[in-house]
Amino acid sequence: MNTESRRRILITGMGILSPIGIGVEEFQNSLMTGKSGIKKSELYSYLAAPDTCVAEVSDFNSTTIKKQYLKQQRKSLKVMCREIQLGVASANLAMEDSALDLNAVDSERFGIEFGANLMLSPPEVLFGACVACSEGTEFQYERWGNEGLAKMEPLWLLKYLPNMPACHIGIIIDARGPNNSITQAEASGNLVLGEAQRVIERGWADVMVAGVTGTRVHEVKSIHAKFWEELADAPEDFAKRARPFDKARTGQVVGEAACSLLLEEKTHAENRGAKVWGEVLGTGASCVVNRDGSPDARAAMANAIKAAMKRAGVEPGDIGHINAHGLGERLFDVQEYQAIQDVFGEKASEVPVTALKSYFGNSGSGCGIVEASGSLVALKQGVIPATLNYETPDPDCPLNVVRNEPLPTENKLFLKISTTGFGQASASVICGV
């Protein structure tokens, strides 16, 4: 589609729940002052994460706080696990930030696009049912239907379905347009933005809530992370453990976050005098697996970046900064540099790069849009946010990492990269205003 003829999509609302703050103002203040959200868990005394070092939204815990951000959903809290609660709360905050009058919106042209991790039950939820189906230490599957399920809470399944954030949000704001859920781990955020963008471009909706939620601060998920991924175990100072692209990096930090953006067709937004955070110009996605079955993150990221820039109608030299995936794993960060080099060539070591997992870890599905929002709120201040803990450049990934303090800029165009450990990557080109 010709970029000049397609409908333009503006970002007119933002709702954030992150380890460095709930709400745009607190999030922005923490980002601009270099405040880390990584610390010893306050929600758990036991997790597989080294030293129980995590990035959690610890303020979002008490019933009082939850009711503050889930005012209309008090009766539904019992059928929402933590991830769903975070996601719905982020949509509520985005709607509030947008100042959109729901009575003035055609509900049939108002849709939801939401990303989430696979949601897992904590052990205590399954314990009674598993015991009922066990003989000694052996679990007997044939007993599950008659004896196991009877021990489960009646609404158990509804509480842990990754499509439920979109369902709850659609009901709350009476959005009767397209409603879709995406479960692609870290790649979810950019995929959500891309799907929402195309829905509006096709003329199927004028307004979309595009959001993500994810927590890996979880009894079972932290075990998965311990087995499958490289988790940071140094230095002793927890706030310095997430150090993307730094030579001394030792791995990622598990985290949690949720963020929703209100995407709105340009004329629709202008007619109501909406505040604008930015514009979604183009997105791209790719999944690459080698012949031996191993994922090729480098190729996937390069493909996704090229597709996003082509769709946005921009060249590498137009990009003001890169908001990197910046996982903090030793091999993965090198692969990301190589992907950037594949696209940007000699400019790969010149374009400014920021990596915001250094503030709030890796929340899986939750990270992409939260990180993109970090660039948007910083660009409102005329700066690129700094990366925390980048002290010693790594010759294997010689990127121009913004560090120490935010970098002033007049170029509001940025590239957001996200990828999974399974060879799937996504990217977005966004322009802040």
Task: Judge whether 126 lies within some domain.
Answer: no
Look up the CATH number of the domain holding residue 377.
3.40.47.10
Number of compact structural domains in the chain: 1
- Tell me how many degrees the CA angle 68-70-73 measures, rounded to the nearest 5: 135
Domain assignment present for residue 139? The answer is no
Q: Which two tokens stand for residue 263?
A: 């995407």
Q: How confident is the model at residue 4 (pLDDT cuts 50, 70, 90)?
A: low
Q: Which band of pLDDT confidence, cut at 50, 70 and 90, is reported for residue 96? A: very high
Q: Rounded distance, CA 164 to CA 66, Å?
A: 17
* CA pair distance 167, 76, nearest whole angstrom: 12
Residue 293 has pLDDT above 70, yes or no: yes
Is 138 among the domain residues?
Answer: no
pLDDT band of 5, cuts 50, 70, 90: low
pLDDT of residue 1: 41
In the predicted model, what is the mean pLDDT of the chain?
95
Say if 31 falls within a structural domain.
yes
pLDDT tens readout for residues 215-226? 999 999 999 999
Contact by Cβ (8 Å): 355, 416: no
pLDDT at position 2 over 70 = no
Range in 74-88, 113-127, 165-179, 197-211 with the lowest mean pLDDT: 74-88
8 A C-beta contact, residue 405 and residue 386? yes
pLDDT digits (tens, 9 = 90+) for 328-353: 999 999 999 999 999 999 999 999 99
Residue 101 located in a structural domain: yes
**Residue 205 lies inside a defined structural domain of this protein:** yes
Domain for residue 112, yes or no? yes
| Nearest CA-CA partner of 433 in 266, 272, 273, 279 | 279
Q: What is the pLDDT of residues 231-244, one digit of tens each?
A: 999 999 999 999 99
**Domain range for residue 425?**
9-120+160-432
Q: 371 pLDDT exceeds 60?
A: yes
Mean pLDDT lowest for which of 3-7, 247-251, 262-266, 417-421? 3-7
Q: What is the pLDDT of residue 49?
A: 97
Q: Is residue 154 in some structural domain?
A: no
- Top-confidence residue, 62 or 389: 389
